[in-house]
Amino acid sequence: MNELVVMKNQQAVTTSLKVAEVFSKAHRDVLKAIRNLTAQNCTVGNMFDEGTYINKQGHEQPMYFMNRDGFTLLAMGFTGDKALQFKVKYIEAFNKMEQVIKSEALPQTTDEQIELVYKSLVEKNKEIEHTNKRVDKVEKDIQQIKDTAEVDEQERYQLLQARKARVIRACGGENSNYYQEKKAKKVFAEFGRDFKKAFQIPRYDCLKKKLFDEAIDFTKKWYPSFVLQREIQNVNAQTRLDLGDD
């Protein structure tokens, strides 16, 4: 990440090679993007200066120098969180290099002054990496809390209300023989066993918060066993006798 911005003809510039390295792109793709930009508008050509470099095989290859405007135009198409971080670092590098150039307190850019700018950029990069690690840890801690947290009081209340509504409906309603004869507790018991087995918990309040929506869906779709359904149907089919006095 050293030497993001270099000095060329008393101007702060970067190179297509460095851009390709920093943003993890193929150099040929960066060259293609630059050529497309310069072909679209002749004014853009002033922002880029074609040059060459010697590759590892000892062959001369094309590259481009670009000033702040050229880099900004090129980097517009680079997206993502990391791309944004590298753009920010590049902007800081251009700013600091231009400050060195314009500074009246220092002689016209020496290698020692440029090295100080580079060291500052390296330290800034370390700070960003350290911050990213802290953010990653916080996100992991938050996810851990979400994964292990149990339902709160309001969610337990909603679960109990959903269970009650489902059991009453399974009994045939509040006016059904089965419900009126106080037999609903048998349905409540069967629902409780099925619910705890489905979510592998000993009590309702042990349900994980992340499973709340799934638990509500389970409750709404639950049905008693076939045997219990037949029992409910038989009781509800009986005619209730009015044994009150005339």
> Residues 179-198: what's their mean pLDDT?
92
Tell me, what's the pLDDT at 243? 40
Q: How far apart are CA 19 and CA 78, in angstroms?
A: 11
Report the percentage of the chain scoring pLDDT > 70. Answer: 86
User: How far out from the chain centre does Cα 119 lie?
Assistant: 32
Domain with 71 in it:
6-147
Q: How far apart are CA 63 and CA 50, in angstroms?
A: 6
> Is 145 in contact with 202 (CB distance < 8 Å)?
no
In a shared domain, residues 184 and 143: no
In a shared domain, residues 113 and 202: no
In a shared domain, residues 116 and 67: yes
pLDDT band at 146 (very low <50, low <70, confident <90, very high): low
Tell me, what's the pLDDT at 162? 94
pLDDT in tens, 86-136: 788 788 888 888 887 776 444 445 566 666 676 777 777 777 777 777 777
In a domain, 244, yes or no: no
In a shared domain, residues 192 and 140: no
Answer with the one of 128, 147, 166 that is the final residue of a domain. Answer: 147
Tell me, what's the pLDDT at 191? 95
In a shared domain, residues 70 and 134: yes
